[in-house]
């Protein structure tokens, strides 16, 4: 089966609010142009297109159809969509190339999180029978997870602030003076509401060197899921992330881009993925500095690949999550293709 | 970026779900003021019950009654409750392990202030006054021993089995694209404008954020007449909720003269059976004082009486 490499990556600015539509077109058109410029490919050269987005974020049925305009999808193309972070769209595209159906694929994700009330919209990811009708918001669910780790002595509020402080120019003690947003979480523990989009171009290993000087060869990619029943699993761990990392062969990486929208989730992931102090975590700033829904996981893969494109690393890990409290996790391991 | 039009978009529906034997029994129980969990393959009692074991995925069928009191396993403080949450005053979200259960359930605890909540706090169910047949039949939890008024009387036996209705209401601020905004603003002046793709030259109405052929925004403004042809149509014979016209009537794709894409509108002013592909039509505008930023300013299209357009002239627009 054909190996697959990341050969291009671009993302729209991560901003608190865009004036654009929820169909993503305004954010996607410029970044499509950017990856085509990077790779020398054009839309006619792309064998398969796959996207990740959510109708609930847009408040409209089939909202991803409008985004297809950004492709310039006439004459007809091979296209698919996942109602998840676009990292899972990348997995589908990876399979298409693995199966030998196509040589190239373009994957994109987008989300205008600011259009609605993100905390409430995400409640609809929960069990629709016994949980979602209570409308627990995404930040409160994460706060319950954070408390379990505090009570178990796995981390302290200071540990959480130290994670946040790594991404901004502040000292830990001033962060701890802030009032709670959702006790025990403070504003710095929570990823900002972000509008954004990201795009990646994949190519078969056989052709990857045509499109990138130093492609990021995907040596392993896996995704796993934990039970959606919040009470039935140990929320202080991410067994599905651990299983995905093991299956993807995640040891010995120099850089890890983690999709952790909450400070304590970065600590859970570091432990679950077995990352030691030697590993550079989130050189991009990670999701705590910008978390465009349905694109942030794909962006982690892109940012990790960039470390390889630029020669700053030779073996990297990228992680994406979807669903509440790190329920679903994807891990990709990449190496430089010289 | 030019100014864009935006407006509130309200989405609301009552999600009606079938419950099946496991959840159905649980929710019927709640309505009758009792709580049952289900025993998992590993012996753990899950509350709320799960249909399939979280570890082995085996179907689960052994129901186990559990208590109305329990212990807080984790909690967070909701200082500004959001719409539709269990309480409108500040409360705690909590994972609560009911007595006799092994897995905690998520619910709200009415505790007044965060100082009154801690892990290990003992809480009891406060039943809803009016059962609705789902998880909200537990209104919230209160600390054991806290005064909570008079407990409501148990309601009469259930009259609706096996389904639950969950209302969903979401609020958005919907933005039009710059191209769409220009089009909507022109409609308020009684003008129909399209925009031309700079790459392929096609004229789109409404204009598009990106040409579906070329993937670039349409830019050059093109004023279009309010005359065109029917490319295709259907006769609506079926009555439906919210219908504004009495059937039969015609919904048709109208291709304005000079445009490269048709839009859906009504053709009135003749018998439905007379409408045909290629028929020439003209917009019937509403009175000027009713105009706003909407294609509704055109009430409908009606026949002009001119000769039909030949099929070959619009075949590529079908
Ligand atoms: Zn065009």
Model confidence over B202-228: pLDDT tens digits? Answer: 999 999 889 989 988 898 999 999 999
Please check whether residue B6 lies inside any domain of the structure.
Answer: no
Q: Say whether both B112 and B197 belong to one domain.
A: no
Q: Say whether both B163 and B188 belong to one domain.
A: no
Ligand 1 centre to CA of A200 (Å) is 24
Single out the residue in B150, B169, B188 at which a domain terminates.
Answer: B169
pLDDT at A189 over 60: yes
| Averaged pLDDT for residues B18-29 | 93
Whole-model pTM? 0.94
Please tell me if residue A135 touches chain B, with a CB cutoff of 8 Å: yes
- State the pLDDT at residue B154: 65
- State the pLDDT at residue B152: 66
**pLDDT band of B2, cuts 50, 70, 90:** low
Share of chain A above pLDDT 70, in %: 100
> Predicted ipTM?
0.95
- State the pLDDT at residue A63: 87
Q: Say whether both B24 and B112 belong to one domain.
A: yes
Ligand 1 centre to CA of B215 (Å) is 7
Q: What count of residues does chain A have?
A: 338
Number of separate domains in chain B: 2
**pLDDT band of B257, cuts 50, 70, 90:** very high
The domain of B198 spans 176-313
Please tell me if residue B94 touches chain A, with a CB cutoff of 8 Å: yes
Sign of the Cα torsion A284, A285, A286, A289 reads: negative
Q: Say whether both B93 and B202 belong to one domain.
A: no
Helix (H) or strand (E) holding A265: helix A263-272
Please check whether residue B4 lies inside any domain of the structure.
Answer: no
B/e letters for A281-296, b = 16+ CB within 10 Å, e = fewer, are bbbbebbbebbbbbbb
pLDDT at B1 over 60: no
Most B-contacting residue of A68, A130, A236 (CB-CB within 10 A), to test interface? A130
**CB within 8 Å of chain B, chain A residues 13-72:** 19-23, 25-26, 28-29, 32, 43, 56, 58-60, 66, 68-72
Q: Say whether both B187 and B270 belong to one domain.
A: yes
Looking at the domain A216-336, which fold is it?
Peroxisomal Thiolase; Chain A, domain 1 (3.40.47)
Single out the residue in B115, B148, B169 at which a domain terminates.
Answer: B169
Please tell me if residue B285 touches chain A, with a CB cutoff of 8 Å: no
Same CATH fold, A216-336 and A4-117+192-210? yes
Record: contact A133-B23, CB cut-off 8 A? no
Q: Say whether both B162 and B200 belong to one domain.
A: no
| A21 backbone dihedrals φ, ψ, rounded to 5° | -80, 170
Please check whether residue B1 lies inside any domain of the structure.
Answer: no
Please check whether residue B309 lies inside any domain of the structure.
Answer: yes
Contacts of A145 (CB under 8 A, 6+ apart): A235, A236, A262, A264, A265, A325, A326, B74
Q: Say whether both B19 and B138 belong to one domain.
A: yes
Say if residues A192 and A16 touch (Cβ distance below 8 Å).
yes
Q: How far apart are CA A176 and CA A17, in angstroms?
A: 27
pLDDT at A204 over 90: yes
Q: Say whether both B160 and B195 belong to one domain.
A: no
The partner residue sitting opposite B74, judged by closest CB among A28, A147, A227, is A147
- Taking contacts as CB-CB distances below 8 angstroms, the residues of chain B near A117 are 82, 170-171
Ligand 1 centre to CA of B220 (Å) is 12
- State the pLDDT at residue B209: 87
Please check whether residue B273 lies inside any domain of the structure.
Answer: yes
Please tell me if residue B126 touches chain A, with a CB cutoff of 8 Å: no
**Å between B133 CA and nearest CA of chain A:** 11
pLDDT at B80 over 70: yes
Chain centroid, CA A56 distance in Å:
18
Number of continuous H segments (helices) and E segments (strands) in chain B: 2, 18
- State the pLDDT at residue A103: 97
Q: How far apart are CA B205 and CA B203, in angstroms?
A: 7
Contacts of A223 (CB under 8 A, 6+ apart): A88, A91, A240, A244, A328, A329, A330, A331
Q: How far apart are CA A129 and CA B314, in angstroms?
A: 51
Task: Give the Cα-Cα-Cα angle A285, A191, A329 (nearest 5 degrees).
Answer: 80
Q: How far apart are CA A337 and CA A5, in angstroms?
A: 8
Least confident range from A45-59, A304-318, B154-168, B229-243: namely B154-168
Q: Say whether both B162 and B242 belong to one domain.
A: no
| B19 backbone dihedrals φ, ψ, rounded to 5° | -105, -30
Single out the residue in B102, B134, B169 at which a domain terminates.
Answer: B169
pLDDT, greater one: A187 or B131: A187
Please check whether residue B189 lies inside any domain of the structure.
Answer: yes
Contacts of B202 (CB under 8 A, 6+ apart): B196, B211, B213, B260, B261
**Which residues pair with residue A76 across a beta bridge?**
none
Please check whether residue B26 lies inside any domain of the structure.
Answer: yes
pLDDT at A162 over 90: yes
Say if residues B30 and B131 touch (Cβ distance below 8 Å).
yes
- State the pLDDT at residue B160: 62
Most B-contacting residue of A61, A132, A140, A262 (CB-CB within 10 A), to test interface? A140
The partner residue sitting opposite A135, judged by closest CB among B11, B82, B175, is B82
Q: What angle, rounded to 10 degrees, do the helices at A138-151 and A263-272 form?
A: 60
List own/partner pairs for A28-31 with CB under 8 A and 24 or more apart: A28/A67, A28/A70, A28/A108, A28/A110, A28/A197, A28/A199, A28/B210, A29/A70, A29/B209, A29/B210, A29/B215, A29/B216, A29/B217, A31/A108, A31/A197, A31/A198, A31/A199
Q: Say whether both B212 and B132 belong to one domain.
A: no
Q: Say whether both B209 and B235 belong to one domain.
A: yes
| Averaged pLDDT for residues A84-92 | 98
pLDDT at A177 over 50: yes
pLDDT at B158 over 60: no
For chain A, domain boundaries: 4-117+192-210, 118-177, 216-336
What would the pLDDT profile of B259-268 be if each residue is shown by its tens digit? 999 999 999 9
Q: Say whether both B150 and B25 belong to one domain.
A: yes
**Rounded (to 5) percent helix, strand, coil in chain A:** 40, 25, 35
Tell me the average pLDDT of chain B.
93
| Averaged pLDDT for residues A51-73 | 91
**Residue B118, number of CB atoms within 10 A of its CB:** 12
> Which of B1, B40, B3 is CA-nearest to residue B185?
B3
Looking at the domain A4-117+192-210, which fold is it?
Peroxisomal Thiolase; Chain A, domain 1 (3.40.47)
Return the number of CB contacts < 8 Å for A and B. Answer: 184
What would the pLDDT profile of A107-122 be if each residue is shown by its tens digit? 999 999 999 999 999 9
**Residue B42, number of CB atoms within 10 A of its CB:** 10
Q: What count of residues does chain B have?
A: 318
**Å between A79 CA and nearest CA of chain B:** 14
């Amino acid at each position: 089966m054909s190996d697959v490499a990341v050969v291009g990556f671009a993302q729209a600015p991560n901003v608190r609010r865009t004036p654009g539509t929820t169909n993503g077109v305004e954010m996607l058109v410029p970044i499509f142009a950017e990856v085509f410029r990077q790779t020398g490919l054009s839309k006619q050269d792309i064998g398969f297109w796959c996207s990740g987005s959510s109708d609930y974020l847009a408040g409209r049925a089939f909202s991803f159809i409008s985004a297809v305009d950004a492709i310039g999808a006439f004459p007809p193309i091979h296209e698919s969509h996942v109602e998840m972070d676009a990292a899972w769209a990348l997995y589908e595209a990876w399979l298409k190339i693995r199966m030998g159906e196509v040589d190239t694929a373009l994957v994109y994700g987008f989300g205008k999180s600011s259009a609605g009330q993100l905390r409430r919209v995400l409640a609809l990811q929960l069990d629709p029978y016994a949980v979602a009708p209570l409308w627990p918001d995404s930040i409160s669910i994460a706060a319950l997870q954070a408390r379990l780790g505090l009570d178990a002595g796995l981390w302290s509020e200071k540990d959480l602030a130290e994670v946040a402080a790594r991404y901004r120019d502040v000292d830990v003690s001033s962060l701890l003076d802030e009032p709670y947003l959702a006790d025990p979480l403070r504003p710095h523990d929570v990823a900002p509401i972000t509008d954004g989009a990201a795009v990646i171009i994949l190519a078969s290993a056989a052709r990857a060197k045509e499109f990138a000087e130093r492609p990021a060869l995907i040596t392993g990619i896996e995704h796993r899921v934990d039970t959606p029943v919040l009470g039935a699993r140990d929320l202080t761990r991410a067994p599905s992330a651990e299983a995905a990392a093991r299956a993807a062969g995640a040891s010995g990486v120099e850089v890890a881009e983690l999709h952790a929208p909450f400070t304590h989730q970065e600590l859970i992931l570091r432990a679950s993925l077995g990352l030691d102090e030697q590993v550079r975590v989130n050189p991009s700033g990670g999701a705590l500095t910008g978390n465009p829904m349905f694109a942030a996981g794909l962006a982690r893969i892109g940012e990790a690949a960039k470390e390889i494109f630029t020669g700053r690393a030779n073996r990297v890990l990228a992680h994406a999550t979807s669903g509440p409290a790190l329920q679903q996790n994807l891990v990709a391991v990449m190496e430089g293709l010289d | 970026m030019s100014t864009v039009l935006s407006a509130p978009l309200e989405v609301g529906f009552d999600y009606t779900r079938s419950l099946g034997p496991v959840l159905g029994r649980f929710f019927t129980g709640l309505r009758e003021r009792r709580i049952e969990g289900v025993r998992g393959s590993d012996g753990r009692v899950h509350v709320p019950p799960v249909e399939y074991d979280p570890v082995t995925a085996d179907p689960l069928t052994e129901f186990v009654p559990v208590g109305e009191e329990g212990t807080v396993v984790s909690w967070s403080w909701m200082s500004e409750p959001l719409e539709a949450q269990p309480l409108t005053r500040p409360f705690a979200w909590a994972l609560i392990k009911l007595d006799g259960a092994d897995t905690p359930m998520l619910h709200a605890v009415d505790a007044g202030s965060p100082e009154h909540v801690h892990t290990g706090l003992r809480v009891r169910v406060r039943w809803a006054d009016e059962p609705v047949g789902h998880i909200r039949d537990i209104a919230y939890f209160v600390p054991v021993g806290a005064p909570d008024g008079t407990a409501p009387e148990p309601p009469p036996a259930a009259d609706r089995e096996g389904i639950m209705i969950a209302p969903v209401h979401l609020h958005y601020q919907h933005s039009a694209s710059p191209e769409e905004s220009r089009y909507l603003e022109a409609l308020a002046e009684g003008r129909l404008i399209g925009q031309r793709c700079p790459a392929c030259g096609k004229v789109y109405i409404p204009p598009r954020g990106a040409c579906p052929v070329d993937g670039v925004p349409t830019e050059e403004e093109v004023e279009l007449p309010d005359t065109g042809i029917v490319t295709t149509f259907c006769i609506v014979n079926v009555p439906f909720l919210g219908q504004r016209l009495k059937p039969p009537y015609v919904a048709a794709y109208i291709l304005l003269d000079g445009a490269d894409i048709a839009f859906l509108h009504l053709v009135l002013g003749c018998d439905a059976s007379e409408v045909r592909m290629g028929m020439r039509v003209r917009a019937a505008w509403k009175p000027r004082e009713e105009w706003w930023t909407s294609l509704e300013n055109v009430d409908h299209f009606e026949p002009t009486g001119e000769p039909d357009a030949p099929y070959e002239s619009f075949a590529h627009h079908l």
